[in-house]
Structure 1
Amino acid sequence: MNSTPLWLSSLTLAAAGGWLAATMFAAPATSKEPRFPQLTMDQLDARQKPLGEQIMKVSSVGIGGPYNPMIRSPVLGQRLFDLFYYLRWETSVPTKLNEFAILIIGRQWRSQVEWFAHAPLAAKAGLSADIIAELKTNKRPSKMAEDEAVVYDFVTELTTTRKVSDETYARAKKVFNDQQIVDLTAVAGNYVMVAMLLAMAEETVPPDKQEPFKPGEP
């Protein structure tokens, strides 16, 4: 794969943190058996291990989160990983806006793992604490820059109405080029799929961490 300075500089840290997280992610703390018991690197077979090694180099959750069910289907898992890699580290969409789009999907799905993993990344990329906090309460953030408002309205309209109006598309064209519009659409759709994998597998945050969304919250 084509390495880039954006992720290479944090490669060692991500791998170390990911290794720890891989042992921490587990099913909810109930008597119910996990649908997909958390795998460790030592448990991976010959088909899974090459993918596991790639995941460990870049993932903040190790082979936890969506990777835990995904690695059960290693051929599909590899192809999804390649897609994730592009949409996270090689996309044409600026990192702050890309992470914002992921958070929008995570909030729509109330995806505990997506929000837990990506809210800090969005903040690190420059998305304001106020925007993150308002989005977390299921509100349209009130103080967005033009490009942020375009991302919010474009992604929300597409995922909730299943179309993009001419007005919203025209706004997007003023901010993004064609490749960026395609990449923005793809990252939103990709993280719907990730949210589905997480929901199906009942993956959650590490047992010593608080879930971002509490029962009874909208």
Structure 2
Amino acid sequence: MARLELPPEDAMTPEQKAAVAEVVAGIRGRVPAPMVAWLRSPELASRAQKLGEFLRYGTTLEPKLSEMAILVCGRHWTSHHEWTAHKREALKAGLEPEVIAAIAARRRPALADARESAVYEVSTTLLSTGRVPRALHDSATAALGGQGLVELVGILGYYCLVSLTLNAFELGLPGSIAPELEDPAPMG
């Protein structure tokens, strides 16, 4: 059960109301789950949702690649709500169900091309070690471009914030429990 609820509008501060109005007026059209917690710090809520909007909808990475990175991050942190929401989005973006199943099982998926491989390898390596070795950096830059690689790292960082927020406050639970994530072993 979620530890926090969205405050009723009549109980919100002017700053909280402004942050909610801003996100609802944006591309999402609704308050995303982590913002329920972030609203306790309206400035964080406003800034984080703007960054998230860019990283989710405005990067040079096609949605299939962004969603794969988000799933790897959600799997890394075993963030059920993030996984459930982005599994749906990944399927809509064209990510193969077999790729999604492999990520859930912490197995390297069979990937279609160098861009998918770069996203997967950078995501898993960076999340598990906190580093990107030179050879991987160079191959990922060749596949994604310098801007794409920087944006990928931004996606991973932002979705770590999202995952940790969702997990800390048990947001989206119990409705978003993903049975395929029940293995608590670290990803590698």
Distance 1:198 1:117 in 2: 12
Which letter maps to 1:213? P
**2:77 corresponds to which residue?**
109
CA contact (8 A) 1:40 1:63 kept: no
Which of 183-192 and 172-181 deviates more? 172-181
Any gaps of 5 or more consecutive residues in structure 1? 1-25, 28-33
1:212 pairs with 2:178: yes
- Select which of 106, 128, 137 maps to 2:105: 137
Distance 1:143 1:180 in 2: 18
Aligned length: 183
Any gaps of 5 or more consecutive residues in structure 2? none
**2:139 corresponds to which residue?**
171
Which letter maps to 1:191? Y
- Deviations 1:102-143, CA, capped at 9 Å, x for gaps: 110000011011111111111111111110111112211134
SS of 2:179's equivalent in the other structure is coil
Which letter maps to 1:68? V
Which letter maps to 1:111? S
**1:75 corresponds to which residue?**
43
Higher helix fraction: Structure 1 or Structure 2? 2
Note the aligned Cα RMSD (angstroms).
Answer: 2.0
**2:167 corresponds to which residue?**
199
- Deviations 1:10-30, CA, capped at 9 Å, x for gaps: xxxxxxxxxxxxxxxx52xxx
Tell me the percent identity.
30
Cα gap change, 1:119 to 1:40, in 2 (>3 Å): farther
- Deviations 1:55-109, CA, capped at 9 Å, x for gaps: 234448x435201001111111111111111101111221110111011000001
Runs of 4+ in structure 1 deviating by more than 6 angstroms, as ranges, are: none
Cα gap change, 1:81 to 1:212, in 2 (>3 Å): same
Distance 1:181 1:98 in 2: 11
- Deviations 1:25-70, CA, capped at 9 Å, x for gaps: x52xxxxxx2x2333445433111121123234448x435201001
> Please, what TM-score do these two structures have when normalized by structure 1?
0.76
**2:96 corresponds to which residue?**
128
Question: Does 1 or 2 have the higher relative contact order (CA < 8 Å, sep 6+)?
Answer: 2
Distance 1:191 1:93 in 2: 15
Distance 2:10 2:88 in 1: 29
Cα gap change, 1:215 to 1:166, in 2 (>3 Å): closer
CA contact (8 A) 2:118 2:144 kept: no
- Deviations 1:187-213, CA, capped at 9 Å, x for gaps: 1011111111112112134x5x45113
SS of 2:110's equivalent in the other structure is coil
